[in-house]
Amino acid sequence: MALSIVGVALGVAVVVGIDLANTSARTAFTLSTETVAGRATHSLEASSGTLPDSVYRIIKVDEGFRDAAPVIEGSVRIGEVDGPVVQVLGVDPLAEDPFRSFTGGPDGGIDLGRFMGRSPGVLVAAATAERLNLPEEGRFSAWHEGQHVDLEVEALLPVDSDLDAASLENLIVVDIATAQRVLTMQGQLSRVDLILPEGTEAAFRANHMRGLPDNVTLEQSAGRSDTLAQMTEAFSLNLTAMSLLALVVGMFLIYNTMTFSVVQRRPLLGRLRAVGVTRREMYWMIISEALLVGLAGSILGVVGGLALGNVLVGLVTQTINDLYFVVRIRDLDVSAWSIGKGLAIGIGSTILSTLPPAREATRTAPSMVLKRSATETSTLHALPRLVVSGVVLAVAGVGILWLSGKSIAWSYGGILAIILAFACWIPPIVLLGARTLRPVLGRVFGIIGRMGASGIEQSLSRSAVAVAALTIAVASTTGVGVMVDSFRTTVNTWLTYALEADIYISPPGDVFRRNDATITAEAEHFIRSRPDVEAAYSVRTARVLIDNQETDLIVTEPRPRELEPGRYKATMTGDFRRAMQESDVVMVSEPYAFRYGTNVGDSLRIMTSHGPVAFRVGAIYYDYASDLGVVQMTRDRYDIHFDDPRVSGLAVYATDGKDLDGLIQDLREGTASVQSLNIRSNRDLRQASLDVFDQTFTVTTVLRLLAILVAFVGVLTALMALQLERSRELAVLRANGMTPGQVGRMITLQTSSMGLLAGLLSVPLGLVLAWLLIYVINQRSFGWTLQFEVDGVILLQAILLAVVAAALAAMYPSLSMSRTKASEALREE
Amino acid sequence: MSHLPSLPILSVRDLVKTYREGSLDRAVLQGLSFDIKKGELVVLLGRSGSGKSTLLNLISGMDAPTTGSIRFRDTELTKLSETERTLFRRHAIGIIFQSFNLIPTLKVEENILLPLELGGKLDKDQRQRALAVLEEVGLADRAGSFPDLLSGGEQQRVAIARALAHDPLLILADEPTGNLDFKTAGLVMDILERIVHDKERTMLIATHDRDIIGLADRVFELQEGVLREVSPAESAH
C-alpha cells in the first residue's frame, strides 16, 4: 500500500512542482509590475527608448492635467559590478501621492526635503536592505551598465502586508533626479503615469496629446504584465509538457502499484468472493480504495511538489533571467488552483490506472486464488488487440500532429498518442524478446538463465507494463538528450560564423540574451582609437514597437565580412545588403518570421523617433540568440530614423599577429576608469553563450531524472508484485535445490533482461521523440531550424541506463525473494 | 517385502520444533526420535495440523529445528548453514508435493532435470539416467510437453520422476495422492511402490490416506507432536 502511495505521490509531485515554479515566476513578475504601476491606469511612453522629460512638463503645466507622475525605471547591481540586480524606481515625491504610497506624501514620515535634496538617498524595505547587506549609515556601491555610483539608505519603506513585502523584495525607490543621474538618463523619463477616469481615454488623446512628440503613445498599465507573460509562454508550456510526461510514466507506475496491491490481497479477495461479496461490490471496494490511495498519494505529492517547486523555481528563474527579464522570486506562489489541479490529476489518474486491475480481480473466480496463469493467458489473447490499438493510436497521433497547426498543446497531444501507440506494441515485442533471449541466456547461464527469460513471458502482464514504463522514461531522456544535443550543435555551428570578430565588448547587462545597456562614448572612442584595433563595428540593441509589438531591434554597422549566403533562410531578389544601407529595408530573424508570420517582401511598421515608418523585409536569417525574434537594421538607417547615437556593443578585429590576450588586457586597463566592460575573446564569448545554453536546459535534466526515478519505482513495484505471485514457484525451486544466491541471480537476470529490452526499445522511440521535438515542438514553439544530430553515445547510455535502473530495482526484491522461507511458502498446501 | 539392511540412512533424535504464537511458544514436534533404513518405505500418519509437513520440512532442511538432531549417514543437517542445507537437499533428497508443483515455464524434461541442472552442466550419463526415470513412470513420450498440457495424474508422475532423477538418498512425499481421484491415486501408489521396492529406494510418505498403509514397511503416527510406531494392521483402523 505504501508503494502505491509513493507511486502516486512521485507523479503528482513532478506536475505540481513544475506548475508552482511556472506560476510563481509569472506572479512575481506581475506583482513587481503592479507595484511600480501603483494606481496608474495609463501611461505615456515612447515608442522606442525613453521620453524627454518635457513631456511631463507639457502634461502637468501646459495641459494642466493633475493626475500625472513622472517615472524612471531601470536596474542597478549592488556591491560589485556583477552583484545582485535590483530594480530602481525613480519618482517625484510631490506628484506621487495619488499613485503609490512609497514616499507617503508630505505627511508620510519621510523627510522629503532631505530625500529630494540629498542626491544618493534611496528608500528600501528593511528585508531588502538586510538581504543586500546595505549599511544603515553611510554610502554603498552600486553599478549601472558598468559605471560606478554611490547610494545611501535614506529611510526604510513601510511594509503593510505580506503582499507589499513580496513586491518590494527587489526594489529601491529614488528621487527622479537621482534616477536620471544613476541610470544616465539626464533629461529623460521612462514614462509618465496617469490616472484616467474610465471612458476618458479617447478624450485624453484628443485634448491633451496634441502637443506631444509623434513617438509618444498612450498605453494601458494593466497590459504590461500580459506582454511579458506572452514572452515566456512557449517556455512554460514546454516545461508543463515535460512534467506531464513524468505523469504518464507515473500512470504506468500507479497501474503497477495498484495491481500490486490487488495481487497482494488476492487470497483475501478470493475469500470475500467465496463468502458472497458480489463482483460489483468488490469492484467498488477496490475503486474506493484507489480513491483513498489517490488522495493520500496526491496529498503527499502536493507536499513533495512544494519541496520540488522550491528547487525548480530557482532553475526556472535562472532561465527566465538569462533569456527574458529579471525577476526575483522570494516565495513559491502556492494557489488553491495549483494544489487542486495536483489533487485532481493524482486522484483521477489513480482511479483510471486502477480500472484494469479492479476488473482483473473481480473477474477472477473465487476458487482461483493462485491462478495467475489465467491472467497471463488473457494477456496473450489480448496481444493482437494491442497491436491494432497501437496502429490506431499511431495513426491518430500522426493525424493530430498533421492537423494541429501551430498549437503546441495539440502537438503534445499527438506525441502522447504516438508514445501510447508504442506502449501498446511493447507487450508483443517483450514476448518475442523474452523468447529470443531464453536460449541465449540458457547457453550462458544454464537453467538459471532460461528461467530468468521465461519469467518475463510467464508474467507478461506485469513485466510488459514495467518494460513500457522504463522504455518511455528512458526514451524521453534519449529524445530530449538528442534534441538538446542537436540544438547545441546547431548553436555551436551558428556561433562559429555569427561571431567572426576577435574581441567582443559590452557593458554588463541584466539579461544575458537581451542586453540593451550602452557603452559610453568615451570608452567607445578609446577602443576604436587603439593602434592594435584594425577595425570595429558597433551593435545597438533597442526595444522598439514594431507592428505594435515591443521587439528587440538589432542595429549593426557594416561588418568587414558579411554572413555567408547559406546563413539566410530567404532573401529578396537583388543585393538586399545594399538595399538595407540605402533604403528602408530590414531583415528579421527566423523566430521573428515564425512568430509573426513574416515573409520576405512584407512591410513592417516600425515606430521611430519621428513616428511610424514602413520598412520592407529584405531577408530572413538564422538566429539562435533569441526565441522571441529580432529585427535587424543598418546603423545608417537607424541614425536617420532614431535620435539615439548610443551603442550597446563593439566587435573588434585586431591587427594581424597581435596577441589577443595582450590587447584585451590593454582595453580593460584603458577603459577601467570610465566604465567596467565585459571584454571577451571570441572563444570566451562562445563558451559563455554555450554555458548559458546549458544552464537553460538544467531544469529539463532534472525532469528527465525524475522520470527515470518514477520508472525505477515502477520496475521495483512490478518486481514486488512478481515476488508475491511467484512465491510458491520460488519455494518449489528452493525445495529442489536452488540456493538463495541462484534465486538472486535468476531475478537479476530476469530484470536485467527487462532492462535490456526497455533500453533497446527506448532507442527507436527516443529517436522518434527527438525528431518530433526538433521538427514539430521546437518549430511550433520557436520556429528554429535545427540540425538533427544523433550521437551514438547517447543511445548507448540509454541502453545502459535502462539495464542499470532495472538491475538496481531488482536488488531489494531479489534479496527478499532469496530470503523467503520455502517451508512457509509451501505451507499453504 | 524387500530385505531390510541394518544401517539407517536417516537418524532423527529428540527433535523439537516450536513456533512463537503471540507471547506463547507452541510445540509442534515434541522430542521425536526414529530411524529410516535404506530401501524402506515408511508412512507417516496424522491428522491435518499434526505436524507431518513440519517434520518433512525439517528432514528436507527447508526449515531448522528448535533442538534435536537430524543425521543423514555422516552429515548432521542441523549443523549446516541455509545454503549448505540447500546443496545437501539438491543432491540427497527428492520431494513430491501434494499439488505437483511443476515449474510451468519448463518442459517436462526440463522439470525433471532441474535439480541436476541447478548443480551445473549435465553430462550425457546424467541426462540419460534422468530420462530413464521418465520412462519408469511411463511418460517418456511427454518429455517435450509443458506441464499445463498434462492431466493431474501425469503431472504427479512427472513430479515423482523429478524427485527420483538425481538418485537421492531419501524421497519425501507429502500427501502424494491428495489431489488425485481414486483411480489415478491407485496408479500413482503402484508407481511409488515399484520405485521403492524394485529399485531399493528409500521413501517417507506423509499422508492421512490409509490406503497407502498397505505399501508401508513401517508406519508412524504423529499425534499432538508425539510420534509412535504402529503396526500396519493397527493403523489401518
First to last CA, chain A: 27
Q: How far is CA B197 from the centre of its chain?
A: 15
Residues of A in contact with B101 (CB under 8 A): 728-729, 732, 735, 826
| pLDDT over 50 at B1, yes or no | no
pLDDT band at residue A369 under the 50/70/90 scheme: very low
pLDDT tens sequence across A236-276: 666 676 666 666 766 776 777 677 677 667 777 777 777 77
Average pLDDT over residues A602-611: 90
Instruction: Give the pLDDT confidence score for residue A105 in this predicted structure.
Output: 55
Task: Say what percent of chain A tops pLDDT 90.
Answer: 16
DSSP B160-210: HHHHHTT--SEEEEESTTTTS-HHHHHHHHHHHHHHHHTTT--EEEEES-G
CB contact at 8 A, B185 and B211: yes
| pLDDT over 70 at A829, yes or no | no
| pLDDT over 50 at A368, yes or no | no
- pLDDT, chain A, mean: 82
Report how far residue A518's alpha carbon sits from residue A541's, in angstroms, rounded to the nearest whole number.
9
Residue B65 forms part of a structural domain: yes
Higher pLDDT, A670 or A824: A670
Interface test with chain B among A441, A736, A815, by most B beta carbons within 10 Å: A736
Do the chains contact at A736 and B106, CB–CB below 8 Å? no
pLDDT tens sequence across A626-652: 878 899 999 999 999 998 888 988 999
Report how far residue A21's alpha carbon sits from residue A236's, in angstroms, rounded to the nearest whole number.
9
pLDDT tens sequence across A434-489: 999 999 999 999 889 988 898 888 878 778 888 888 898 888 888 888 888 888 88
How many structural domains comprise chain B? Answer: 1
Residue B146: φ, ψ to 5°: -85, 150
Average pLDDT over residues A487-493: 86
Higher pLDDT, B91 or B195: B91
Report how far residue A766's alpha carbon sits from residue A473's, in angstroms, rounded to the nearest whole number.
9
CATH code where residue B177 lies: 3.40.50.300
Do the chains contact at B117 and A823, CB–CB below 8 Å? no
Half-sphere exposure for A543 (CA within 13 Å, toward CB): 14
Average pLDDT over residues A784-791: 85
Model ipTM value: 0.86
Q: Name which of A508, A506, A504 is nearest A83 in CA terms.
A: A508
Amino acid at B190: D
pLDDT band at residue B203 under the 50/70/90 scheme: very high
Instruction: Give the pLDDT confidence score for residue A575 in this predicted structure.
Output: 85
Distances from the Cα of A655 to the Cα of A382, A525, A679, B47, angstroms = 74, 17, 17, 105
Report how far residue B122's alpha carbon sits from residue B119's, in angstroms, rounded to the nearest whole number.
8
Distance from CA of A728 to the nearest CA of B (A): 8
Those residues whose C-beta lies under 8 Å from the C-beta of residue B58, and which sit 6 or more positions away, are B15, B17, B29, B64, B65, B70
Report how far residue B142's alpha carbon sits from residue B159's, in angstroms, rounded to the nearest whole number.
13
Element containing residue A472 per DSSP (H, E):
helix A460-498
| pLDDT over 90 at B179, yes or no | no
Instruction: Give the pLDDT confidence score for residue A276 in this predicted structure.
Output: 76
Report how far residue A305's alpha carbon sits from residue A388's, in angstroms, rounded to the nearest whole number.
37
Q: Which residues of A touch B (CB under 8 A)?
A: 373, 446-448, 450-451, 454-455, 457-458, 728-729, 732-742, 821-823, 826-827, 829
pLDDT band at residue A404 under the 50/70/90 scheme: confident
Distance from CA of A233 to the nearest CA of B (A): 54
Q: What is the DSSP letter of A774?
A: I
Q: Could you tell me the sign of the dihedral formed by the alpha carbons of A564, A569, A572, A577, in that order?
A: negative
Report how far residue A636's alpha carbon sits from residue A641's, in angstroms, rounded to the nearest whole number.
9
Interface test with chain B among A377, A732, A815, by most B beta carbons within 10 Å: A732
Residue B3 forms part of a structural domain: no
Distances from the Cα of A128 to the Cα of A135, A141, A311, A570, A781, angstroms = 11, 15, 22, 50, 37
Higher pLDDT, A83 or A540: A540
Would you list the domain boundaries of chain A? 39-220, 508-676
Residue A572: φ, ψ to 5°: -75, 165
Q: Is A166 helix (H, G, I), strand (E, B) or coil?
A: helix
Q: Residue written as cell 551558428?
A: A494
Residues of B in contact with A741 (CB under 8 A): 83
Q: What grid cell was written down for A666?
A: 590593454
**What angle in degrees, to the nearest 10, is found between the helix axes of B152-164 and B124-136?**
140
CB contact at 8 A, A26 and A199: no
Report how far residue A234's alpha carbon sits from residue A254's, in angstroms, rounded to the nearest whole number.
29
Element containing residue A127 per DSSP (H, E):
helix A126-131
List the domain range (segments joined by +) for residue B64. Answer: 8-235
CB contact at 8 A, B195 and B160: yes
Distances from the Cα of A331 to the Cα of A299, A319, B53, angstroms = 20, 17, 65
Q: What grid cell was written down for A148?
A: 560606478
Count the Cβ atoms, other than its own, within 10 Å of residue A123: 25
Amino acid at A663: L
Q: How far is CA A348 from the centre of its chain?
A: 26
Across the A/B interface, how many CB contacts are shorter than 8 Å?
A: 86
Q: What grid cell was written down for A527?
A: 577602443
Higher pLDDT, A94 or A101: A94
| pLDDT over 70 at A148, yes or no | yes
Report how far residue A421's alpha carbon sits from residue A402's, in angstroms, rounded to the nearest whole number.
17
Average pLDDT over residues A679-690: 85
CB contact at 8 A, A331 and A27: no
Strand-pairing partners, residue A140, are A151
Residues of B in contact with A448 (CB under 8 A): 118
